[in-house]
Amino acid sequence: MREAAGDISKTVLELTAEEFADAKFTRLAVERLVIILGEAAAKVSGRIQRLRNNLAHDYGQNLALELYRTCLQLWCPLPVTLTAFVRAHQRTACSRTARKRQCESQSQGTGRHG
């Protein structure tokens, strides 16, 4: 998800809304990435799911400006958000592992002396 969101972010931030609407193949690539991410994130956001459904069933410039705005608002910040989430999860997992090891070593130490 981070890679796809990063690709969307890079593409959208390099273009104005008008350039994006006129760049058919770029828009189609971003649409495809949004559909894929929308499926992955469907349970996270109703807005993402609605956009994904619209893109999956309606093509062309009709949704270009909505797609552009949504990408700026939702997808561009996503790589940073996901990276922070992963790091926080890794820290939590490491803390749990360290606490588990500490408890195991204490119980083993107690068993030897008892």
Quickly tell me which residue has 């992955």 as its tokens.
Answer: 40
DSSP for the chain?
A: -HHHHHHHHHHHHTS-HHHHHH-HHHHHHHHHHHHHHHHHTTTT-HHHHHHHHHHHH--SGGGHHHHHHHIIIIITTHHHHHHHHHHHHHHHHHHHHHHHHHHHHHHHHHHHH-
> What's the pLDDT at 6?
84
What residue ranges do the domains of the chain occupy? Answer: 1-76, 80-114
* The dihedral formed by the CA atoms of 34, 9, 3 and 46, expressed in degrees to the nearest 10: -40
Residue of 35, 42, 41, 39 lying closest to 81 (CA atoms) = 41
> pTM (2 decimals)?
0.51
List the pLDDT tens digit at each of the 114 positions of the chain: 778 888 888 888 899 989 998 999 999 999 888 888 777 776 666 766 777 777 777 655 667 887 888 777 777 777 777 777 677 777 776 766 766 676 666 666 555 544
Whether the Cβ atoms of residue 49 and residue 42 lie closer than 8 Å to each other: yes
